[in-house]
Structure 1
Amino acid sequence: MTLLKLAIKSSLNRKASVLLTLCTIAISVMLLLSIERVRQDAKSSFSNTISGTDLIVGARTGDIQLLLSSVFRIGHTNNAVSWQSYLDIREKKGVAWTIPISLGDSHKGHAVLGTDAAYFTHYRYGKKQHLAFQHGRPFHNAQEVVLGSDVANTLHYHIGQQIVISHGMGNTSFHHHDDNPMTIVGILAPTGTPVDKTLHIPLIAVEAMHEQNHKKPMMIGKKSQQNDHAQHQHAEDHNSHHNEHDEHDNHDHLHATLDSEPSDLIGTPQQITAFLMGFDSPLYTLQVRRNINMYKAEPLLAIMPGLTLRELWEMLDIVEKILLLFSIVVVLVSLLGMLTTLLATLSQRRRELAILRSVGARPAHIFALMSSEAILITFVGCLVGCILFYALLIVANPILQSQFGIGLTIGWLTNYELTLLGAIMAAGTLMGLLPAAKAYFYSLADGMSIKI
């Protein structure tokens, strides 16, 4: 206990150098723990996003690109899958269920996903968990939308509120589907996946919005061809009346179709972005995957989510190792800085050590004192580093969640993280042995004499 008190008072006597050493150790510990936590939680978030899906089918592109765009809403695919090909493939032997998805629209930066009722029945995440509703129900017609939990919480939406979907992905859109407001009828329970940041609408609603979007520029083109002012006005009124009549008929037909078959909101879109598949037996998975990859009607690609995720981690493995190596180097540099500080101040403390020897301190006591100082500085540095680590998690978690769909775990340190801290403590102790050994051999006469 006396040695600890002496170590604390001795460190306080050298506030500037000790504080600088503490800061470097704390920052390096924070960096090391943060990189490890982000790496582990990123893998966990990606792995838990989709479960129980045997195949993901889309236009022929890269395996990883198809996975990221269709499941994680990262990037986009240049081509789509025709509706006829989807209908043909879902009828193949062994197919238990399919989920069509259509991407390309957004709402205030959140992705909009067009799908059908099978999405709420068969989509699974985590350990084959089904989607659950926190409030409301699934959509039943083309004017209804189901929100992910993050969308509802971030934008403060509630059941019954009307929203407008925008064309295009991202925060900026130059066209809004104001003529097709959607009513919120359901809010999903939190899943910790990109589902939480997604708005879900029927496929037929996507098709209806885009069909109306294509009609408008055609009307403008017809009007521009009229030269006579009277004829132009007559044609404009006629086209406007005709367009309203068509939209009214289309709207009534849309409601009639959905209301008559509320359990199968498929509609007749021209194309979709991709679709998910589940099979009765794993044997059918490989067979159907091979047939899809050799599909003659159009170039398609079928991937197995688990294998593609493994490929993604293998590609990122070198990046993970570089980041880990970088953080370890930073920790070693900070510990070397502590060693340099202790050695630099050792010559200035020769009189202090000699006085301790004169009052009865043995060389072993001096050795223990110097070692205790190094251990104390390393321990406090690790403690402050952990505090900074948790503060960084609290600040960065909502940013990573909203931008990349990665939810950070703000909980106790894992066994691996505790092992890293133990390794840092051991390294700090070893660093303190060198100045302690040097002080051990200082003689009383050498410390009491003044050299000029």
Structure 2
Amino acid sequence: MLLKLAWRSLMFRKGSVLLAVLSVAVSLFVLLGVEQVRKQARDSFNRTVSGVDLIVGARTGELNLLLYSVFRIGTPSNNISWQAYRDIAQQPRVAWTIPISLGDSHRGYRVVGTTEDFFSRYKYGQGRALALASGRAFEETFDVVLGASVAKQLEYQVGDSLVLAHGLGSTSFSMHEGHPFRVSGILEPTGTPVDRALYVSLEGIEAVHRPDADAHSDLTPSSITAFMLGLDSRVASFQLQRQINQYRGEPLLAILPGITLSQLWQMLGVVENILLLISAMVVLASLLGLSIMLLASMRERQRELALLRVIGAGPLQLFFLIQAEALLVVLLGAAIAVGAIYLGQWIVEPILGAQFGIYLMDMPLAGQSLILLAGVVLATLVVALIPASGAYRQSLQRGLQS
């Protein structure tokens, strides 16, 4: 009954109420949007690779090595020799390795040179293995396997031909037209940067950069960009990491993906907290504006409150009426904000995936977002105390005067 009365009261002031609802919706969109992007960006990064004990590349920053080898963000500072890769791969505790060679692209998508071990050893999420939606992994030198997003966006199917380009830009003037590749397989979607790359053999990468190569040429690469490795015992991770970092043949760097990701979140933690604080201040300003709107309307509503008092409404009921009106405005604003977040996620997700390798999953508001919403509702009741107390006092004074 009280909510119904509050709703009808708001409908008599549609103009000012609509502005208040939009103000609350915009502020909550900023607050919940920042929280959703923060959480889903972390989830996207954390589920990209699983089960890799060490990532090894040329001596560079730890974050840079992680970003270009796993997330395809940035560029490597240098390559590592094939001999160094073989020396480390043959260490007794190394169970498997996945070499990676970067540097080519196709219509804006990166090309990754690797071995068939990539399809059997690479894991994402909670240890999920890659799977082919159609076709097979590369067997011939000029076979290529496409990530799900590449196949979908470029409308490729198994058996189609394509040409790689030198460099990582979306536009390249150096095409490897003499060595076209044939699509041998298409991966199932993973929701990770794996979806937005093309995978060829290391021999294929070597062949396109050696125009004089023939069927009898040795296509063993002279260098690769980086490699991932798994150990038969994780206890040996730190020992092998130290050994690789002290490798005498050339300057190398070995990182533990989980620890490096933690360093990334520590660096971004201050920025995240600042963004949340700014968003919270925007919401508070919006709620104070709502309180001012309700307070300013009290003079205009003296007859309404007097009439409610005549038909039996007590001071406490009028107090809760104003609180209910404020709560309805915030709930309407929250509903609009949540709808806008899902719409914005649908629009922004392809851009984040293409530019930063961040994939936003369709998931309901939960966890921290619900806590923030509960905090906003509580703050609404607090800021509405001022106009609600005014209604209570006016009603009480009229009751004493009658």
Q: Under a length normalisation based on structure 1, what TM-score does the superposition of the two structures give?
A: 0.85
Mean Cα displacement is larger for which, 189-198 or 159-168?
Answer: 189-198
Conservation of the 8 A alpha-carbon contact between 1:354 and 1:444: no
Matched, 1:363 2:326: no
Greater helix proportion: 1
- The match for 2:117 is 118
Matched, 1:252 2:204: no
Matched, 1:428 2:380: yes
Cα distance in 1 between the residues matched to 2:244 and 2:377: 55
How do 1:216-255 and structure 2 match up within 5 A?
Answer: 247=212, 250-254=213-217
Mean Cα displacement is larger for which, 354-363 or 311-320?
Answer: 354-363
| Aligned partner letter, 1:28 | S
Measured after TM superposition, the shift of residue 342 of structure 1 is 0.8
State the SS of the aligned residue for 1:106: strand
Change (3 A) 1:328 1:203: same
Measured after TM superposition, the shift of residue 412 of structure 1 is 2.3
Measured after TM superposition, the shift of residue 370 of structure 1 is 1.6
Measured after TM superposition, the shift of residue 444 of structure 1 is 8.5
Conservation of the 8 A alpha-carbon contact between 2:73 and 2:357: no
Cα distance in 1 between the residues matched to 2:250 and 2:345: 46
* Residue deviations 1:180-209 (CA, integer Å, cap 9, x gap): 100000111111111111100111111121
Measured after TM superposition, the shift of residue 445 of structure 1 is 8.3
Cα distance in 1 between the residues matched to 2:69 and 2:353: 18
* Residue deviations 1:324-344 (CA, integer Å, cap 9, x gap): 111111111110110111111
Matched, 1:311 2:274: no
State the SS of the aligned residue for 1:253: coil
Cα distance in 1 between the residues matched to 2:313 and 2:395: 12
User: Which residue of the other structure, out of 319, 337, 341, is the alignment partner of 1:385?
Assistant: 337
How do 1:345-364 and structure 2 match up within 5 A?
Answer: 345-364=297-316
Cα RMSD between the aligned structures? 1.8
Note the residue ranges of structure 1 that are not aligned, 5 or more in a row: 213-246, 258-266, 448-452
- Runs of 4 or more, structure 1, over 6 Å off, are 444-447
Cα distance in 2 between the residues matched to 1:88 and 1:45: 33
Measured after TM superposition, the shift of residue 74 of structure 1 is 0.2
How do 1:252-271 and structure 2 match up within 5 A?
Answer: 252-254=215-217, 267-271=219-223
* Residue deviations 1:62-82 (CA, integer Å, cap 9, x gap): 000000011100001121101
- The match for 1:327 is 279
Measured after TM superposition, the shift of residue 358 of structure 1 is 3.4
Cα distance in 1 between the residues matched to 2:11 and 2:361: 36
State the SS of the aligned residue for 1:376: helix
Measured after TM superposition, the shift of residue 87 of structure 1 is 1.4
* Residue deviations 1:381-422 (CA, integer Å, cap 9, x gap): 112222222222222222222322222222322133222212
| Aligned partner letter, 2:310 | S
Matched, 1:341 2:287: no
Measured after TM superposition, the shift of residue 323 of structure 1 is 1.3
Conservation of the 8 A alpha-carbon contact between 1:357 and 1:444: no
- The match for 2:22 is 23
Cα distance in 2 between the residues matched to 1:130 and 1:359: 70
Aligned residues: 400
Conservation of the 8 A alpha-carbon contact between 1:106 and 1:167: yes
Cα distance in 1 between the residues matched to 2:51 and 2:315: 67
Cα distance in 2 between the residues matched to 1:157 and 1:338: 54
- The match for 1:216 is none
- The match for 1:295 is 247
- The match for 2:13 is 14
Whose Rg is larger?
A: 1
Q: Under a length normalisation based on structure 2, what TM-score does the superposition of the two structures give?
A: 0.95
Matched, 1:62 2:56: no
Cα distance in 1 between the residues matched to 2:109 and 2:357: 11
State the SS of the aligned residue for 2:186: strand
State the SS of the aligned residue for 2:216: helix
| Aligned partner letter, 1:334 | S
Matched, 1:196 2:195: yes
Cα distance in 1 between the residues matched to 2:122 and 2:109: 20
- The match for 1:394 is 346
Measured after TM superposition, the shift of residue 170 of structure 1 is 2.4
Note the residue ranges of structure 2 that are not aligned, 5 or more in a row: none
Conservation of the 8 A alpha-carbon contact between 2:327 and 2:377: yes
Change (3 A) 1:76 1:445: closer
Mean Cα displacement is larger for which, 25-34 or 197-206?
Answer: 25-34
Matched, 1:406 2:369: no
Conservation of the 8 A alpha-carbon contact between 1:67 and 1:308: yes
Measured after TM superposition, the shift of residue 433 of structure 1 is 1.8
Cα distance in 1 between the residues matched to 2:8 and 2:128: 57
Cα distance in 1 between the residues matched to 2:374 and 2:276: 16
